[in-house]
Structure 1
């Protein structure tokens, strides 16, 4: 069975919509399924946000206060820490990616004046389906006044795949910013890509595996996503899997979308990197 046949079998068995973009970053071989379909981005929107922040060449050592009005619900730890905290921008970007901290994300958004400069950057890069709507996960009694009713962050598998390719090749950011972005992405603590591979997050951190991973996941009730670069030796592939289903709204490790993301990563790894 070919790579395409295996991947299509897994996709067709999934009870919902799937967007996939896979690319071997040396050979240029690709696989795509609904690559331009827009999906609710969930926390994958934090990946292009990271790229914009680093593209501005801002001083990553500058200290930024955590304003009460940007403290968010959902993922992260800043919401549970003492008020009045001040953190370097580098730490906020790290929390935004590594722990998917919604409050850190809102601090970053607020620091650059809200959504407009981010969306302008995405358009300039040609990421036509990628859009940030405003502050993330604010409580109902403290909504974002600049977020349009019904608006939500969106992206596509192809947009994220193109971002990853440009980042890996050093075409998106200056060399030092590229290194910073990949370093932060390598510390990700949430991923489904490793589920069926012979490595886990401890192996990656301790460098006891030849596999390297630079990724950003995202999940909300109806969506489970993962996007990143999976590498082994001199070979690397970009892999993005976006899903949408109403079958199971719970957050648990055996969600059908989580299993699908893991299976797609395993197939891609076996065909393109394992040898």
Structure 2
């Protein structure tokens, strides 16, 4: 891995901000890390451990949950744009939470399971020391989450997400059925940054024409861009987590320096190990 990592390190050194990385061969367990314990604002990557907790409970995924007015959030997602009184199966809400990073769906899921406490207890039990759910996401100032402590934020680290992905891939985190459900949902994410320089796009992945498989969850807020996932091809699979923070450019756009960095790191991994 030295040549590949040297190339990645050059990209890190040129980035105008802080970076956390976890990269691991999921078969040999050879790995490299950069700031692995950095506890960073999670943005929507917190939805990855949330998905795992929800599926770990064994709850009936056909159960329909109401989208209550107090769960309707701003930011990413489509539920906020739909008519009031909607109810959806839990499986659909989990799918929306990952595939289009729907904040309202995330809040409905959080509310159904009893808010942040059971999620955080699960993270602690798994040994994810830097992973924390602070409460509902992206509620307006005039309608705050009454159970969210002022000033708290959801956090993750590259190592925590990397270890989650490894255990998920090897079927050590969830039941076989729940593992397949999680991977299926993660394979359909529509907001990944990893694809920027890879030889396939979302249509290729959906149609099964891509030369690899991708299971991932991204996240972005003004100062952070993240992506965490598994790139797999034939008998090879690598987990890759890239977390970033920079004050250089607060805008949400496809040429943000952190977006380009994440795409370039995924491309380096692919060229060196999967092409």
Q: Deviations over 1:207-256 (max 9, x none)?
A: 11221000000000000000000111111100000000000000000000
Q: Are positions 1:224 and 2:225 aligned together?
A: yes
Deviation, 1:268, is: 1.1
Size of the aligned set, in residue pairs, is 274
SS of residue paired to 1:167:
helix
Mapped to 2, the partners of 1:100 and 1:210 lie a distance apart of 25
Mapped to 2, the partners of 1:197 and 1:84 lie a distance apart of 41
- Residue 115 (structure 1) aligns with: 116
Mapped to 1, the partners of 2:260 and 2:26 lie a distance apart of 24
SS of residue paired to 1:265:
helix
- Residue 89 (structure 2) aligns with: 88
After the TM superposition, which residues 195-234 of structure 1 pair with which residues of structure 2 at under 5 Å, given as runs? 195-234=196-235
Deviation, 1:28, is: 1.5
> Runs of at least 4 residues of structure 1 off by over 2 A?
none
Q: Are positions 1:153 and 2:154 aligned together?
A: yes
CA contact (8 A) 1:225 1:243 kept: yes
- Residue 258 (structure 2) aligns with: 257
The unaligned stretches of length 5 or more in structure 1 are none
- Normalising by structure 2, report the TM-score: 0.99
CA RMSD of aligned residues (A): 0.7
- Residue 41 (structure 2) aligns with: 40
Deviation, 1:147, is: 0.6
Mapped to 2, the partners of 1:223 and 1:51 lie a distance apart of 23
CA contact (8 A) 1:16 1:243 kept: yes
SS of residue paired to 2:269:
helix
- Residue 132 (structure 1) aligns with: 133
Q: Deviations over 1:126-163 (max 9, x none)?
A: 00000000000000000011111110000000000000
Mapped to 2, the partners of 1:210 and 1:174 lie a distance apart of 28
Q: Are positions 1:6 and 2:7 aligned together?
A: yes
SS of residue paired to 1:188:
coil
CA contact (8 A) 1:24 1:272 kept: no
- Residue 67 (structure 1) aligns with: 68
- Residue 58 (structure 1) aligns with: 59
- Normalising by structure 1, report the TM-score: 0.99
SS of residue paired to 2:242:
strand
Deviation, 1:259, is: 0.5
SS of residue paired to 2:194:
coil
After the TM superposition, which residues 189-200 of structure 1 pair with which residues of structure 2 at under 5 Å, given as runs? 189-200=190-201
SS of residue paired to 2:93:
helix
The unaligned stretches of length 5 or more in structure 2 are none
CA contact (8 A) 1:226 1:242 kept: yes
Mapped to 2, the partners of 1:223 and 1:116 lie a distance apart of 25
